[in-house]
């Protein structure tokens, strides 16, 4: 039986199947009301890991989650990401890991999420123009000040993860990864060896017609949907994988969370293992 929980940072227990809030609309009106309902339904259904970021609406997504869920249940961990800012020449989004920017985004997140400490803060991307030691050193200082509980990374290579771990304790990695896209398999292997949580973004994706047909065939055999098969495969692939599928619809949310009850046979898993488009060399886009 696949384990349904994981200890992030070896101490914070969460349900492995979480929720990504990126797709929730923050514009006033019916769409926002629906977003609030989806977030609340996720927690009602037992989700204890919700993912957001400063990039998602410049903090509007964080604000939406606070409106929907605050005061938060003790078991709920809302993780956010910093390090992408509107500091380009014409005000466009760009990677920005300068210490002052990271500090400001963390302070904004604390206010928007209505918390005194962000239990898991992830660096959205490594800024190539700022020394890694400065970026992670700032996050470490924020942790030491009690404003951050644990530190994670996003979209890193195995080498970058190794270098980061020499600077700070890394509790999580959030990379693109799914049944058909396993470019970051070396990163997942490194996370598994170290007991680091691996949060795959875009956990459900579809390839060529033959691959889609094979997934659909396994879904029919298992009495599940193709999306549930993709999520069930992830949960069984490694004990450190914590998928965070996102949706703006309650029906889709419920479908995703039901994937936890889908059991794949060894033969089905072997067929799915063979569908990989990109086995991975550890490089990030």
Q: Which residues are catalytic?
A: 56
What six digits make up the tokens of 112? 């928007």
Q: Which residues pair with 198 in a beta bridge?
A: 173, 241
Look up residue 114 and give its DSSP letter: T
Inter-CA distances, 249 with 34, 163, 199, 254, 255, Å: 8, 39, 21, 9, 10
Distance from first CA to last CA of the chain, Å, rounded? 35
Exposed, middle or buried, 168 (CB in 10 Å: 0-12/13-18/19+)? buried
Q: Which two three-digit tokens encode residue 226?
A: 């193709």
Residue 255 and residue 222 in contact, taking contact as beta carbons nearer than 8 Å: no
In angstroms, rounded to a whole number, what is the distance separating the alpha carbons of residues 253 and 36? 13
Q: Is 5 helix (H, G, I), strand (E, B) or coil?
A: strand
């Amino acid at each position: 039986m696949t384990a349904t929980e994981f200890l992030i940072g070896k101490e914070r227990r969460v349900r492995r199947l979480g929720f990504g809030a990126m797709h929730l609309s923050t514009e006033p009106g019916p769409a926002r009301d629906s977003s609030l309902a989806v977030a609340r339904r996720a927690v009602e259904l037992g989700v204890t890991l919700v993912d957001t970021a400063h990039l998602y609406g410049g903090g509007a997504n964080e604000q939406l989650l606070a409106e929907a869920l605050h005061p938060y249940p003790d078991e709920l961990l809302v993780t956010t990401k910093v390090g992408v800012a509107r500091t380009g020449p014409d005000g466009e989004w760009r990677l920005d890991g300068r210490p002052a920017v990271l500090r400001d985004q963390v302070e904004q997140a604390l206010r928007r999420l209505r918390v005194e400490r962000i239990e898991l803060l992830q660096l959205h991307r490594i800024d190539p123009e700022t020394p890694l030691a400065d970026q992670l050193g700032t996050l470490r200082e924020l942790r030491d000040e009690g404003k951050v509980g644990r530190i994670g990374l996003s979209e890193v290579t195995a080498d970058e993860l190794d270098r980061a771990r020499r600077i700070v304790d890394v509790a999580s990695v959030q990379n693109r990864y799914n049944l058909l896209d396993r470019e970051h398999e070396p990163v997942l292997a490194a996370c598994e060896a170290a007991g680091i949580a691996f949060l795959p973004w875009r956990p459900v994706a579809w390839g060529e017609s033959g691959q889609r047909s094979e997934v659909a065939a396994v879904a029919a055999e298992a009495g599940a949907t193709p999306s549930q098969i993709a999520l069930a495969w992830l949960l069984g692939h490694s004990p450190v994988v914590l998928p965070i599928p996102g949706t703006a619809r309650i029906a889709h949310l419920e479908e995703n969370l039901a994937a936890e009850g889908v059991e794949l046979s060894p033969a089905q898993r072997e067929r799915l293992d063979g569908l990989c488009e990109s086995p991975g060399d550890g490089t990030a886009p």
